[in-house]
Structure 1
Amino acid sequence: MKNKILFVLCLLSGLMFINAGLNKFFNYIPVPEDMPEKTMKMFNAMMEITWLMPLLAAFEVIGGILFIIPRFRALGAAMLTPIMAGILAHHFTLGDNLIMPFILTAILTWVIVENRQKYLPMLQKK
């Protein structure tokens, strides 16, 4: 039962990251007109660095796909961790709604804890 719940949560989270990444490539979700000025400044600054958004989008799409597939879930979690840290930092500094970032972080943390054996070789001293 735990594996089925984890799969559904990873599927939904992975689809959210894939959607966010594809939106960075194709801009199919319109930007709200009532976006706070601080948020617009931050997005404009990120757009000034021309290679940043395509790189972030590619990592979100690839990481989201890997996060859905149980065999590659640990790799997907490793790819999505720095992105999730940036999302949390963004929401903390701008005072946005923190519910969804906390939920995604909890799911990501659960996956990392469940796959901790796969990360141990990276942490062992040779």
Structure 2
Amino acid sequence: MTATPPPPAQRVLVRARRVLAFAGTYAVHFLRANYTVAKEIVTPGDGLAPAIVTVPLRSRTRAETAAFMSLISLSPGTMVLAVSDDRTHLVVHGMHATDPDALRAELGELEEQLLRAWRPVVPRPVVPRHEDNPTRRPT
């Protein structure tokens, strides 16, 4: 069972909201990375915690993957080293990755928002509730 597509005006508004949310998220990510690198340059000490992490990809097309890789490499302190042959994972170097899992989660969240802004607005499938579907047994 599928839902009817939203009207074009509503799709435009939803897409605009997603693009603005992504732009704001990336701006914060970018500024935070710039601040961290600038602080490392200006202050003496060893604040570096380099790590290489594998990030699973949810991108389906080469264009989505390329856009995500570009955003990672544009952020100071991170750089894409490789993409797996089957395009399911990226290998990313983080200069200030004290917690590799946190870096992986942050990049996954960035990709999720990019894909929400990039992909067209489509209706979500309607999942019948238990009481609406007499053939489904309770779990």
Band of TM-score, shorter chain = 0.3 to 0.5
Could you tell me the TM-score, scaled by structure 1's length?
Answer: 0.37
The higher-RCO structure (CA 8 Å, 6+ apart) is: 2
Could you tell me the TM-score, scaled by structure 2's length?
Answer: 0.35
Q: Comparing both structures, which one devotes a greater share of its residues to helix?
A: 1
Q: Comparing both structures, which one devotes a greater share of its residues to strand?
A: 2
